[in-house]
Amino acid sequence: MYILLLLVMPIVFTIIILLFRNNILNIIINILFAVFQLVLSTIMFFSILDSGLSIRNYFTVYFKIDSLNIIFLMILSILNFAVSLYNIGYTKNIRNDRKKGTNYTILYILFITFMTGAVLSTHIGLFWVFIEATTLVSTLLIYTNKTKAALEATWKYLFLCTIGITLAFVGIILLSIGNTGEISLFFEDIYNNVGMIEQFNGNNYYFVRMIEPFWLKLSFVFIVIGFGTKAGLVPVHSWLPDAHSEAPPPISALLSGTLLNIALLGIIRYQRIMIKAELETFSNTILLIMGFLSLLIAASFLLKIKNYKRMLAYSSIENMGIIVIALSVGGVGNYIAMIHIIMHSFVKSSLFLTSGNILNKYNTKQIGKIKGILKLYPLDGIIFFISFLLLIGIPPSLIFISEFLLTLQFIKNGSVFLVIVFAILITMVIYALGNSIIKMVFGKSNLAIPYYKSGIFSYIPQIFLILVAIFLSFIIPLVLSDKLLNWF
């Protein structure tokens, strides 16, 4: 019932928006939609938390809540709520244009709904359909400001992500080709049958593989490149810096905090297939290479970046790299990846939303032209700096825990060389981000900046996200770690 409401109510809200086309009503519906989704998601989360793996909340066989996707749904719901509050202030600039305000709200709700559908999908083909739908809708949202740079970023995003999703579709076809039995493309069906299956021919028992390893390996390559494009993994990342820097701040926050995660969910689910088929050595190697390449490219560009929104975008690439590295190391790698996803989503969204405030006040994206935020705009400076500290892993940030556990796992696996490379790249990233953000926040400005007053809803979402991030940094290690480890 809850899943049915999550997928159907957005349609009702969209119809109401189309019928009335009133910008004040649009804002009200946007908030109601976010609260509605957050309440339902929270109810389902505590059902899973109380009952572990025994709860299966179905809406047809194609949509289900389980112990993995409930985490992604909660992240999506919390960020949707925060960004919807930020939209109150952001959309005031377009309230005089009823058509633009209505279109933005409809596209926003559809974007959230398609991401929700992808999270809840139990079928790899259906997951692909929803991921492709998010590409189409988010393309229009990226172009909201209709500048020349936004147009270029939009086409780049649409072109590259469409190619990536097409490659993922080829991966699904290859998976089907390798199917020697009658396994459906439902994730659980694949998990249960992908390994060696015992059969009886009338005289003897024997074991067969329902999916040939060659096709599984080839399929994984296409899947990880396809969904990796949406996740911003190197070398298929080049759309991300442009799209994130040119999109409106609320959309940048959602792209980084939710859409990248959902693409990763596809990779995580497929990685489970490889583990069940005992082919994780192959898949882990690919993930490890892409992860370290993402770290290397992000660190290199961050050292010379001049645009703070692009800086945050490359930081997202770096964090996606850390997550897939964690997925590749085995052991507690899944747990490390999940806590890193949680923390990065909330903190990076806070940074992108605050970057929107900075852009409004300084009217530039150039790092060198922005100094003294803390003195001129204390609240923006405090939020921006605290978010930065949490992002680079200053305790009690969960990112500190995830990077620390990942280092220990490298050592446990005897990968001393990887520990050294990982430490060097992380240090480069922290130095690059700190060098830019500290100058922006604490530097002495020689420019006469006219005072720009922001509304309260330009700050409440970030404060909310920071408080959630700090709260989870205590509650997960103390209370939820055992649950998360058991789920995986």
In this model, does residue 181 exceed pLDDT 70?
A: no
Residue 416 maps to a domain? yes
Q: What stretches of 287-431 adopt beta strand conformation (E)? A: none
Is residue 472 in some structural domain? yes
The answer, yes or no, to whether residue 487 has pLDDT greater than 90, is: no
Percent of the chain residues past pLDDT 70, beyond the cut: 90
pLDDT, tens digit (0-9, with 9 covering 90-100), for 283-313: 999 999 999 999 999 999 999 999 999 999 9
Asked if pLDDT for residue 74 goes beyond 90, the answer is yes
Q: Is residue 403 part of a domain?
A: yes
Which pLDDT score is estimated for 198?
46
Question: Over 60: is that where the pLDDT of 53 sits?
Answer: no
User: Residue 453 sits in which domain range?
Assistant: 279-488
pLDDT of amino acid 448:
56
Give the confidence band of 23 by pLDDT, cuts at 50, 70, 90.
confident
CA dihedral for 163, 164, 167, 173, sign (positive or negative): negative
Residue 450: pLDDT band (50, 70, 90) is: low
Percent of the chain with pLDDT over 90: 66
What residue has token string 């790092």? Answer: 367
Give me the pLDDT at residue 197, please.
52
Q: What are phi and psi of 59, to 5 degrees?
A: -130, 95
How far is 485 from 488, CA to CA, in rounded Å? Answer: 5
Per-residue pLDDT tens over the stretch 115-157: 999 999 999 999 999 999 999 999 999 998 888 989 999 999 9
At residue 164, the pLDDT reads 94
Token pair, residue 392, equals 């680079």
Residue 465: its pLDDT value, please?
97
Residue 70 lies in a domain: no
> Given its phi and psi angles, is residue 186 left (phi above 0), alpha (psi -120 to 50 degrees) or beta?
beta
CA distances from 330 to 196, 217, 261 (A): 21, 18, 20
Residue 349 lies in a domain: yes
pLDDT digits (tens, 9 = 90+) for 54-67: 445 456 788 998 88
Count of domains forming the chain: 1
pLDDT of 47 strictly over 90: no
d(CA 390, CA 351): 11
Burial class (CB in 10 A: 0-12, 13-18, 19+), 113: buried
**pLDDT at residue 461 greater than cutoff 90:** yes
428 found inside a domain: yes
- Domain-embedded: residue 91: no
Residue 392 falls within a domain, yes or no? Answer: yes
Mean pLDDT of 399-405: 94
What's the rounded mean pLDDT across residues 224-242?
93
Model pLDDT for residues 358-386, shown as the tens digit of each residue: 998 888 899 988 988 998 899 999 999 99
Average pLDDT value for residue range 63-72: 90
